[in-house]
Amino acid sequence: MTHLLGGRYDLQEQIGGGGMAVVYRAVDTMLGRQVAVKMLRSQFAGDEEFIRRFRREAQSAASLSHPNIVNLYDVGVTEHNEYYIVMEYVDGPTLKDVIRERGPLPVDEAVAITEQICDALEQAHTRHIVHRDIKPHNILLTSSGQVKVTDFGIARAITGNTITHHPEDPVLGSVHYFSPEQARGAATDAKSDIYSLGVVMYEMLTKRLPFSGDSPVSIALKHLRDDFVDPREWNPRIPQSVENIILRCLAKSPADRYPDMAALKADLQTALLHPDVPKYMKPRQPLDETIAIPAVGGLRAVEESGSGKSGGDGPRKKRRWWMPLVWTGVTLVVIGVGAAAAYYIVMDSIQTPNLQLPNVTGETVQTAVAKLHNAGFNDIVEKQAVNSKPAGTVYDQSPEGPTEVKPGRTITLWVSKGPQQNLMPNLTDVPVTEAVQTLQNLGVDVKSQVTEQPVTNSSLPAGEVVQTDPAPGTPLTPTTQITLQVSQGQMVTVPTLVGLTLDQAVAALKQANLVEGQVTYGPYPAPDQTVYKTAPYVAGDRVPAGTPIGLWVANNSGEGGGVPGGAANNTTGSGTGPAAGGSSNTTGQGTAMGDSEPKTIEVQVNDPDGKRIHVQIFKSDAESTRAVAVDQVIHGTTSWAVTLVVTPDQPGQVLVYEDGQLEQNYPVPYSN
C-alpha cells in the first residue's frame, strides 16, 4: 500500500484496528522513522460523535508525556475527509498476545509489568484523565520489556458528572474489564482504572478472566453482584501478598479499593519481599435493591434520581389519585413482557443442542477452518500476530477446545505470522561488549553464532567494532554466523633501540607511544647499559599503541643489572595482540654466549563454557624470536607443552594470546 498522508506519512501495512479506527505501520518520510497511524474508518467520517471521540483521543494523548505511554506525534485530516492520529510505533506484542502465548506469566514478570502500568496511569490521573479502557489489548511491550499504554480513545476528564454511554459506544470488547460503576453507567474516576488493572493482573497470573458469560449483559451483571474465584485457586504459585493486591483492586465498591495508583504501586514494590501475609478479607457487598441495566449491548444505563420527592421551595403540586394506578399498571406490563421474553430466550437456549467444538491449535489455518466447518461452525474470525510457531499455524483459539458450544458461536483463531524477523544491527563504532549484548537481546546465541576477530590496522579506539559480517540490515536466522571485527587500537612503529642506553631507549619508547616491557641484563660485547636486543618486536614492526617492548641490556660487571633508570627483571603481563608478520623473526642483533639449556613450559587455557577461543602461543629463545608455537581454535580447556632453548645471555619468553588479547606471559630464565 502506498498512501501519503499529510505529504509525509507513507502507509506500509495494517497492523491493527477496532470498531472505530484502523491502525497502520507507516514511515515518516520527513524524519525517516517508523510511526503508527490511526485512521478513523471512512463510514464514520461524517458522524460528529465519532469525530468528537477521535479528537478527544488526540487531546488526551497530547497532554501526556511519559516513558510508559505511547507518544503522540501529529494529528490531521486529509482533503478526502480522512481523520488520522500519528503515534509512536512500538515494535512488540500486546500484553494479550503475551498472555495467550506464555500465560500464566511468572509472578515477578507480572508484578514488573503492573508497576509500569501504574506509572503510566498515575501520570494520566495526575493530569485529571481516566483511561476507562485498561485491558491487555491496549498495553504494548517493547523488545526490552518496557510497557507502553495506548488507546486513550474513550478517556474522559475527571468530573463529578455521570457519564452517559451512547448506544454506538464500542464497549462490548471491554466488558470483561469493566468496573462495576462503568457497567452501571455511573461516574468513573481513577478507581475505575484500578479495578480494570486488577482484572489485567488476574488474567496475567491465571490466564483466565474473573467473569465470563454468554452475553455482554450477563458479564456486566456479574461485575455488579457476583463473586469470583480467588486467583490462588487457579494458580497456587501466586504469593498471598500479590493475591491480596488483586482482591483489593477488584472490590465492588470504589471506597474499598486503593485510594490511588501510588498506593497500589507501593504495595507492588513490597509484595515479593514479604510474600507471606494474612489473606485480605473481601468486604461483604450489600445487594442493590435495584440494579440498573448495564451500559452495554446498545442499552443506556439509567439511574433513578430519587423517590419522587420534589426539590425547591415552590408550592407543592396536588397529587392526582389515579397516577399510582397508572404506574402500577405500566410496571406490571413491563414485568410481564420481560418475563415472557426471558422465558422464550431460556427455552430456546435449552432446546437448541450444543455442537462439539474441536481443538484446532497447532493445525494449519486451512486445516483448522475445514475442521470447524465440518463441525458445524461457519462464523470464523482469523487474527494474525507474530509468534514462534511457523507462519500459517493456529497457535490459539477462542473458545478453547475441545468443548461444547451453541451453534452460531463466533470462533476466533489466532494465526502465526511466523517468528519475529530480526535484522543485523549497525554495530560500527560500538564497544564490543555492547555489541555482543545487543545481539544477545535480539535472541542471537552469542556462544555459537558470534566470533570476535581482532583487527590490527584500524584507526578506531581499541575494543570498538570496525565492521560486521553480515552487513547491517541482513536478515538473521538461528544459524547465522556473525563475525565482529574488533579494533586493536592505534598502530605505531617500533623505533630503533639497539645501541641506545637504557634511559634513551625508555624515552624513545615513550615518544613512540609504547611502553617498557621486560628488561633482561646479561654479558654482551658492548658498553654496560647498552640495549643490544629487543623482543618480541624489532625496529620497524607495526604494533598497537601501548604494546610493551622487551629490552636486553648489556651488563659485563656481573653485578646483576643495577643500572639507574632500568627495571631489572621487570615482567609485565599487559599487551593487546600480536602484530602481523612478526612470526619467526630472528633479530641478528647479537650472538648467544654460554651453554644452551632446553626448557619445557606447560601452558593451559581454560574454556569452561566451551566457547570457541582462538589461541596463539609465541616463544622467544636463543634460536628464534616470536616463533609460533601454537595457532589453534579450541572448544574446551586445552594444554600444550612448549619447548625453548635458553642460554645465559638469551633467556626465553612464552606469550599466550586468547582472541588477540595477551592473557599469559612466562619468562624462562637460564638456571644452570
Catalytic residue among 28, 119, 133, 649: 133
The 3-state secondary structure of 590-652 reads CCCCCCCEEEEEEEEECCCCCCCEEEEEEEECCCCCCEEEEEEEECCCEEEEEEEEEECCECE
Mind listing the pLDDT tens digit for each residue in 100-125? 989 899 999 999 999 999 999 999 99
Write the single-letter amino acid at 225.
Answer: R
- Has residue 157 got a pLDDT over 70? no
Q: What is the mean pLDDT of residues 571-594?
A: 36
- Has residue 323 got a pLDDT over 50? yes
More confident residue, 544 or 581: 544
User: For residue 343, what pLDDT is reported?
Assistant: 59
* Burial letters 514-534, b for 16+ CB under 10 A, else e: bbbbbbbbbebebebbbbbbb
Confidence of residue 426 (pLDDT cuts 50, 70, 90): confident
CA distance linking residue 625 with residue 549, whole number of Å = 13
Strand partners, 501: 530
Element holding 534 (H helix, E strand): strand 531-535
% of the chain beyond a pLDDT of 70: 78
Minimum mean pLDDT range among 324-338, 425-439, 545-559: 324-338
Residue pair 657/615 in contact (Cβ under 8 Å)? The answer is: yes
Confidence of residue 326 (pLDDT cuts 50, 70, 90): low
CA distance linking residue 551 with residue 582, whole number of Å = 17
Minimum mean pLDDT range among 384-398, 566-580, 630-644, 649-663: 566-580
The Cβ of residue 238 has, within 10 Å, a number of other Cβ atoms equal to: 22
User: For residue 564, what pLDDT is reported?
Assistant: 35
CA distance linking residue 281 with residue 287, whole number of Å = 18
Cell 537481546, residue? 441
% of the chain beyond a pLDDT of 90: 25
CA distance linking residue 113 with residue 95, whole number of Å = 9
* Burial letters 372-384, b for 16+ CB under 10 A, else e: beebebeebeeee
User: For residue 75, what pLDDT is reported?
Assistant: 84
Q: Which of 88, 113, 118 is nearest to 99 (CA)?
A: 113
User: For residue 590, what pLDDT is reported?
Assistant: 37
Helix axes 190-206, 95-102, angle to 10 degrees: 20
* 133 given a catalytic annotation: yes
Confidence of residue 218 (pLDDT cuts 50, 70, 90): confident
Q: What is the mean pLDDT of residues 349-374?
A: 84
- Has residue 529 got a pLDDT over 70? yes
User: For residue 50, what pLDDT is reported?
Assistant: 67
Provide the CB-side half-sphere exposure for 451 (13 A, CA). Answer: 14
Cell 658498553, residue? 527
Q: What is the mean pLDDT of residues 565-574?
A: 36
Minimum mean pLDDT range among 193-202, 321-330, 385-394, 493-502: 321-330
Q: Across all residues in the chain, what is the average pLDDT? A: 78
Q: What is the mean pLDDT of residues 577-588?
A: 34
Please classify residue 46 by burial: count the beta carbons closer than 10 Å to its beta carbon, then call 0-12 exposed, 13-18 middle and 19+ buried: exposed
The 3-state secondary structure of 211-238 reads CCCCCHHHHHHHHHHCCCCCHHHHCCCC
Minimum mean pLDDT range among 172-186, 336-350, 584-598: 584-598
Minimum mean pLDDT range among 183-187, 351-355, 632-636: 351-355
User: For residue 587, what pLDDT is reported?
Assistant: 35
Confidence of residue 306 (pLDDT cuts 50, 70, 90): very low
The single-letter DSSP state of residue 475 is B
Domains and CATH numbers, the chain: 1-89 (3.30.200.20), 90-290 (1.10.510.10), 355-416 (3.30.10.20), 432-487 (3.30.10.20), 491-668 (2.60.40.2560)
User: For residue 344, what pLDDT is reported?
Assistant: 59
CA distance linking residue 122 with residue 194, whole number of Å = 10
Residue pair 125/190 in contact (Cβ under 8 Å)? The answer is: yes
- Has residue 454 got a pLDDT over 90? no
Mind listing the pLDDT tens digit for each residue in 70-95? 988 888 888 777 888 898 999 889 99
Confidence of residue 484 (pLDDT cuts 50, 70, 90): very high
Q: Which of 478, 417, 412 is nearest to 445 (CA)?
A: 478
Residue pair 523/572 in contact (Cβ under 8 Å)? The answer is: no
- Has residue 412 got a pLDDT over 80? yes
For 396, phi and psi rounded to 5 degrees?
Answer: -165, 160
User: For residue 210, what pLDDT is reported?
Assistant: 95
Q: What is the mean pLDDT of residues 638-667?
A: 84
Whole-number Cα distances in Å, 55 to 83, 85, 129: 9, 9, 15
CA distance linking residue 144 with residue 72, whole number of Å = 21
Confidence of residue 2 (pLDDT cuts 50, 70, 90): very low
Q: Please report the sign of the dihedral spanned by the C-alpha atoms of residue 52, residue 54, residue 56, residue 58.
A: negative
More confident residue, 614 or 129: 129
User: For residue 131, what pLDDT is reported?
Assistant: 87
